[in-house]
Amino acid sequence: MSDFIVAIGLVFVVEGIVCAAFPQAAKRAAAALIETPEAAMRIIGMVSAVLGVVVVWLVRG
């Protein structure tokens, strides 16, 4: 469970760095997200989730 909490914390760190370092790009990405169809968002989300699981599986073995 502690690994999960650490992972959530790292998500906040990455999101914070993106917003702090590239605020205009973050705004453009958020605006583009609103225009993206739901089906495409679902596919992108599933692919991201699978890639995340693969990376964790490869690293943690």
Per-residue pLDDT in tens (0 to 9) along the chain, 61 residues: 888 899 999 999 999 999 999 999 999 999 999 999 999 999 999 999 999 999 989 998 8
pLDDT for residue 55: 92
Structural domain harbouring 22: 2-60
Contacts of 36 (CB under 8 A, 6+ apart): 44
Instruction: Output the CA torsion sign for 49, 52, 54, 57.
Output: negative
Dist CA 5 CA 28 (whole Å): 29
Residue 41 has φ and ψ, to the nearest 5°, of -65, -40
Domain count within the chain: 1
Dist CA 59 CA 36 (whole Å): 32
pLDDT for residue 61: 83
- Specify whether the CB–CB gap between 41 and 33 falls below 8 A: yes
Say if pTM beats, i.e. exceeds, 0.85.
no
pLDDT for residue 47: 97
